[in-house]
Amino acid sequence: MLIYLIDDHQMFAEAMKTVVSGLIQGCTVKAYTAAENALKSIQQETPQLIILDLEMAGVSGLMLLDILSQNGKNIPVLVCSGNLTDANKQRVMSAGARGFLSKAEGTDEIKQAITAVMAGQSYPAGAEHYIDQQQQALLSNRQRVILTLMQSGMGNAAIADTLCLSTNTIKTHIRLMYNTLDVTSRIECLNKAREMGLLDTQ
């Protein structure tokens, strides 16, 4: 079993890697301190689980959840964060995470969370209650992911590679977003999206 641990605090990432390796027999844990590096690896291999921090420089945990929801690999994600407000719980579950875990939890809870998520269940029990079924997005999920990648500085070709789509498909989605948001450039598009709350402003 291959598990990715993505957290930009290296000391925590290394400690968590040791803990998870000891709790889950036969697993290989790869730690990444940048989501961008993990994304490159995911293009070459498919982990059975991702343990993900929320607040990271560059591509944040929420951005990565959006990207993973569109790459077709259906990798289960367990969010492990020190900032699990109700709003963040709703955001991560609505973005496709299988569960969430506080960084303050002990080894028993970590093992329970991993076991549940790997079995296709949510964690903690009832976490699916946080999924916002009524949220109506102005843009499609795929367009929102493309926006997120545009915000991170990626060009069309890099976005296409990340989402396993053609460059022409990316260009079509961007053109549709321009029409929807009534803008004519990438900078205008990103600024309008931030104003409308369609992008994480961090």
Q: 2-43 pLDDT, tens per residue?
A: 999 999 999 999 999 999 999 998 999 999 999 989 988 998
State the pLDDT at residue 163.
84
Query: Residue 89 in contact with residue 118, Cβ under 8 Å?
Result: no
CATH number, position 186: 1.10.10.10
Is the pTM for the entire model greater than 0.75?
no
Q: 51-88 pLDDT, tens per residue?
A: 999 888 777 888 888 888 777 778 999 999 988 888 88
The average pLDDT across 88-117 equals 91
User: Rounded to an integer, what distance in angstroms lies between the CA atom of residue 81 and that of residue 62?
Assistant: 12
Domain count, the chain: 2
Q: Is the pLDDT of residue 93 over 70?
A: yes
The band of 187, judged by pLDDT with boundaries at 50, 70 and 90, is very high
Q: Which residues pair with 2 in a beta bridge?
A: 28
CA dihedral for 43, 44, 46, 49, sign (positive or negative): negative
State the pLDDT at residue 61.
86
Q: What is the mean pLDDT of the chain?
A: 88
State the pLDDT at residue 94.
82
Q: Is the pLDDT of residue 133 over 60?
A: no
User: Range of 103's domain?
Assistant: 2-130
CATH number, position 69: 3.40.50.2300
Judgement on whether residues 122 and 179 belong to the same structural domain of the protein: no
User: Rounded to an integer, what distance in angstroms lies between the CA atom of residue 95 and that of residue 169?
Assistant: 22
State the pLDDT at residue 107.
92
Judgement on whether residues 26 and 98 belong to the same structural domain of the protein: yes
Looking at 109, 130, 151, the residue that finishes a domain is: 130
State the pLDDT at residue 64.
86
Q: What is the DSSP letter of 125?
A: T
User: Rounded to an integer, what distance in angstroms lies between the CA atom of residue 116 and that of residue 101?
Assistant: 12
Looking at 130, 154, 177, the residue that finishes a domain is: 130
Determine the 3-state secondary structure of 31 from DSSP: strand
Q: 104-118 pLDDT, tens per residue?
A: 999 999 999 999 999
State the pLDDT at residue 201.
58
Query: Which among 27-41, 87-101, 140-154 has the top mean pLDDT?
Result: 27-41
Determine the 3-state secondary structure of 57 from DSSP: coil
The pLDDT > 70 percentage for the chain reads 96
